[in-house]
A and B are shown apart, each in its own frame.
Chain A
């Protein structure tokens, strides 16, 4: 989703090869091909199609036989999504529906996630992100790339949870840990599938643009940020495979990234460095290069609940759910409260979706998806949320929607994401996303684009990276 919203907000590339070995696309190039607002261009199948953007050898390396991917992934999860849906409100067929049709098609209410149904309306204040018209398409089978699917298959039956439902890291090597969730900790397994989802690439460079809207839909924020991300464990698509290096193995490091702001002016030159760790009880390490100070400063790794820079998400909402499951740090009691199909804008493959000035989102492709609904009840009464409702796609493990409720039980923040699917790569792109603050009545709308970055090394996401990328 524009979960990217979250991811990138902690906080922006057409083909412009800066150097043969270090290609990336900047925000200017992204906006040239796809503006954040009112732009229906299908950039992902035209100007910014990966086949066009990536060097041929890299594109070739990251593409696989589609039928083989479909077959193997169906073996992993035990089903194909098109076979699992169509039972609820079967009268809702592929086609275009307007919010004015809600009375005519009562089945839509049954078929849609309640919050989505509320947003199925004409656009306007106070929250952006409504759907005045939806395009329903037939359900498609989604799958992961061959390396991810192979790693998943190899891990089946091997990946374990402990007696508290916490993953035994030594048992997970790569891939989706629990392609067929089951047993006492089934809900935890569903959440781990999201936490461990190899959503993007092992090394990537991404760029994103974001707008914030007040309760009158006045734009009060415009942000541009880039991210360089290095996966340190469970690598399957870019060398080195498995662990990135010995250091990561010794230190239990999962990931390292630098997130740097390009705009607005006050944020330009701020760089945040985050190192993620495997241990459930260990906080990530965060450092920041502060532009005004020209100085690197240690950030509190425990300061994860405040909204990030005027946006509609906190660090704990990173990528929808930015936490580790733990028995000591904000522990959750997870339970599956529904296992059913929903009509959701899961993925728009050509990137033609857009938002207009009324806050209406168009061109999303809605399809019936088999999903888990997990209620995550927070056991620490001082946490920002009392519980979260997570809607997770059964076939891919992807978190589609998360609704977060404050300690008074009021819907506080929600993130809705749809990620473009790149069929020949068995990969999801960044795309766009919506984050709403239902109490302060504010919305963030984000568009992002990523490219694989085999050239990325530790030097780019380390102290050196902070200093070089900082103002």
Chain B
């Protein structure tokens, strides 16, 4: 605890120095080579509107991020990039004596969500890139991002995600967790008239350290303010008692990924192959299935707190897939501002994926691991349109996505929690800019068709200058079917305000 406090103090002091020292904000020369240093500090406060068990009326998060990154060109062909981040949610300090916060057990999630102090949370990326000739080799803690869609993550399965703090990321760029990887790219010289670029990319994960997805966690004592409200008559779902086996470092969980990239006929296409582990575990309930555990048997509202008992594993995940991106220039229309739509397609077919099958015919949850092929696909259309009546100078940017997932061998009697045989979701984002790009209003709508549930994010960003940025926004949930889809977050409507200072 003292260690954490010391760490925070040091980093806050560093932030103060960096913020007011322009000399640090630019570029250095080290051993005659350029060293760049960038960073940002953000402080966000969110305010919830509901006073339910799974949420808190009033201020329910006060998240601070301190991010520092550096790039150093060791030689013309050898470069280093590193980044580090400290995330602290001050709400645990602010509400340590708040009876409601304590009674709802949010205070117990402090260990998970107060300070991100694991080495892999503090150290984001640390990688060396060597670029001899037509090759590129990159080794270290890094991000390899695949796919085309910006809303739904289909092909992008190599790095795990940090989603513990909900749908509004800590910072978009840092929700993806860098892991230890080796990457090799080869770009042969192309002389063809129809093929402009060709690249081969190989990625190897030796599982030097197994870092899985950081998903939303059940129970207020683990998941904090973002614990989903899973309906159980007369009870609340509390923290899980889990036994999740993880692949042994180095020995198990090695992953291989290969991609061919081409720029041909005006389109960017890729063919993808992945063999590795799913970043999220599959779990199944084991006896006693659900049970209260003293001393917190009852929730603050008098309902029983039931802890699920489960075991699980990170199953194999292997797929082939393809992406294509192409601008449909013939569809440009003068009256819409002459910008053509661009489509982005991606699809993967995963073999023998593992799911948790639940038999609904039994009075208590009987679950087993079952296998099925899994098809995931998505299409995104981006289109900038001029609407002079609303904005005379800047276009409106529309980005719509449709996501389709089919469980190929869906069991006939059993069910897969949260999934149907066919699953559909949509995503829409609209934004524009006013006053010379100073104000950027945007609206995002995610709709889960199967559960008829929605997530809305209205947001206004004010860029005072290249240092200071202010964001005011909201997160609103609705759902027609109790306990399904985004309805699980129905009580978590909130507004948020974020101040960001960036240097470099």
The residues of A with any CB-CB pair to B shorter than 8 Å are 16, 18-19, 22, 26-28, 218-223, 245-247, 250-251, 262-266, 268-269, 275, 283, 285, 287, 291-303, 305-307, 309-310, 330, 380-383, 437, 439-440, 442, 458-459, 462-464, 467-468, 471
B26 to A263, Cβ gap below 8 A?
A: yes
A464 to B136, Cβ gap below 8 A?
A: yes
Closest chain B residue, CB of each to CB of A12: B27
Distance in angstroms from B21 CB to nearest chain A CB is 15
Distance A125 CA – B332 CA, assembled complex (angstroms): 39
Distance in angstroms from B161 CB to nearest chain A CB is 13
Distance A16 CA – B502 CA, assembled complex (angstroms): 29
Residues of chain B within 8 A of A246, CB atoms compared: 191
Out of B36, B71, B325, which one reaches A297, CB within 8 Å? B325
A28 to B27, Cβ gap below 8 A?
A: yes
B338 to A296, Cβ gap below 8 A?
A: no
Q: Which of A22, A246, A292, A299 has the most CB of B within 10 A?
A: A292
Flag whether B327 is at the interface (Cβ < 8 A): yes
Distance A392 CA – B34 CA, assembled complex (angstroms): 39
User: Which 8 A-B residue pairs are closest in the complex by CB-CB distance?
Assistant: A463-B197, A464-B187, A440-B436, A220-B465, A298-B325, A265-B38, A292-B173, A250-B193
Q: List 24 A-B contacts (CB under 8 A).
A: A18-B76, A28-B29, A218-B465, A220-B466, A221-B466, A222-B466, A263-B27, A265-B466, A285-B196, A293-B145, A294-B145, A295-B147, A296-B268, A298-B325, A299-B342, A302-B327, A303-B384, A305-B337, A306-B384, A310-B437, A440-B393, A440-B435, A462-B197, A464-B185
Out of B144, B199, B268, which one reaches A464, CB within 8 Å? B199
Flag whether B414 is at the interface (Cβ < 8 A): no
- Given A220-B465, A297-B148, A303-B395, list of 14 further CB < 8 A pairs? A22-B76, A28-B27, A222-B466, A263-B26, A263-B27, A263-B36, A292-B173, A301-B327, A301-B329, A302-B327, A310-B463, A380-B334, A459-B187, A467-B185
Distance in angstroms from B281 CB to nearest chain A CB is 25
Residues of chain A within 8 A of B146, CB atoms compared: 295
A298 to B436, Cβ gap below 8 A?
A: no
Distance in angstroms from A440 CB to nearest chain B CB is 4
A268 to B504, Cβ gap below 8 A?
A: yes
Interface size class of B (residues with CB under 8 A): 35 or more
Flag whether B189 is at the interface (Cβ < 8 A): yes
B185 to A19, Cβ gap below 8 A?
A: no
Flag whether B143 is at the interface (Cβ < 8 A): yes
The residues of B with any CB-CB pair to A shorter than 8 Å are 26-27, 29, 32, 34, 36, 38-40, 71, 76, 81, 129, 131, 134, 136, 143-148, 150, 172-173, 176, 185, 187, 189-193, 196-199, 261, 263, 266-268, 325-327, 329, 332, 334-335, 337-342, 344, 382, 384, 386, 393-395, 435-438, 463-466, 502-504
A305 to B342, Cβ gap below 8 A?
A: no
Q: Which of A275, A298, A309, A437 has the most CB of B within 10 A?
A: A298
Closest chain B residue, CB of each to CB of A252: B193
Residues of chain B within 8 A of A269, CB atoms compared: 71
Distance A458 CA – B76 CA, assembled complex (angstroms): 17
Q: Which of B187, B268, B393, B436 has the most CB of A within 10 A?
A: B436
Closest chain A residue, CB of each to CB of B327: A300
Residues of chain A within 8 A of B185, CB atoms compared: 464, 467
Residues of chain B within 8 A of A18, CB atoms compared: 76
Residues of chain B within 8 A of A309, CB atoms compared: 437
B173 to A459, Cβ gap below 8 A?
A: no
B144 to A294, Cβ gap below 8 A?
A: yes
Out of B134, B190, B268, B338, which one reaches A305, CB within 8 Å? B338
A439 to B393, Cβ gap below 8 A?
A: yes
Distance A26 CA – B33 CA, assembled complex (angstroms): 10
Distance in angstroms from A139 CB to nearest chain B CB is 38
Distance A134 CA – B247 CA, assembled complex (angstroms): 73
Closest chain A residue, CB of each to CB of B332: A302
Distance A306 CA – B386 CA, assembled complex (angstroms): 10
A264 to B338, Cβ gap below 8 A?
A: no
A380 and B338 in contact, given A265-B502, A302-B332 (Cβ under 8 angstroms): yes
Residues of chain B within 8 A of A218, CB atoms compared: 465
Residues of chain B within 8 A of A223, CB atoms compared: 466
Distance A285 CA – B329 CA, assembled complex (angstroms): 11
Residues of chain A within 8 A of B332, CB atoms compared: 302
Out of B136, B268, B342, which one reaches A467, CB within 8 Å? B136
Distance in angstroms from A469 CB to nearest chain B CB is 10
Out of A292, A306, A383, A464, which one reaches B395, CB within 8 Å? A306
Closest chain B residue, CB of each to CB of A468: B131
Distance A22 CA – B75 CA, assembled complex (angstroms): 11
B465 to A251, Cβ gap below 8 A?
A: no
Distance A247 CA – B332 CA, assembled complex (angstroms): 28
Distance A299 CA – B339 CA, assembled complex (angstroms): 11
Residues of chain A within 8 A of B382, CB atoms compared: 300
A221 and B465 in contact, given A300-B327, A301-B327, A467-B136 (Cβ under 8 angstroms): yes
Residues of chain B within 8 A of A305, CB atoms compared: 337-339, 395
Distance A322 CA – B486 CA, assembled complex (angstroms): 47
A382 to B190, Cβ gap below 8 A?
A: no
Residues of chain A within 8 A of B463, CB atoms compared: 220, 310
Distance A212 CA – B50 CA, assembled complex (angstroms): 43
A294 and B338 in contact, given A220-B465, A221-B466 (Cβ under 8 angstroms): no
Out of B341, B437, B503, which one reaches A307, CB within 8 Å? B437
Closest chain A residue, CB of each to CB of B201: A467
Residues of chain A within 8 A of B263, CB atoms compared: 285, 287, 463
Residues of chain B within 8 A of A330, CB atoms compared: 338
B36 to A262, Cβ gap below 8 A?
A: yes
A463 to B145, Cβ gap below 8 A?
A: no
Distance A318 CA – B35 CA, assembled complex (angstroms): 30
Residues of chain B within 8 A of A306, CB atoms compared: 384, 394-395
Residues of chain A within 8 A of B148, CB atoms compared: 297
A464 to B134, Cβ gap below 8 A?
A: yes
B197 to A303, Cβ gap below 8 A?
A: no
Out of A222, A247, A293, which one reaches B190, CB within 8 Å? A247
Residues of chain B within 8 A of A263, CB atoms compared: 26-27, 36, 38, 504
Distance A178 CA – B337 CA, assembled complex (angstroms): 33
Distance A51 CA – B126 CA, assembled complex (angstroms): 40
Distance A302 CA – B27 CA, assembled complex (angstroms): 35
Out of B26, B134, B340, B435, which one reaches A459, CB within 8 Å? B134
Distance A306 CA – B397 CA, assembled complex (angstroms): 11
Distance A308 CA – B76 CA, assembled complex (angstroms): 29
Distance A299 CA – B267 CA, assembled complex (angstroms): 10
Closest chain B residue, CB of each to CB of A307: B437
B40 to A265, Cβ gap below 8 A?
A: yes
Residues of chain A within 8 A of B144, CB atoms compared: 294
Distance A19 CA – B173 CA, assembled complex (angstroms): 34
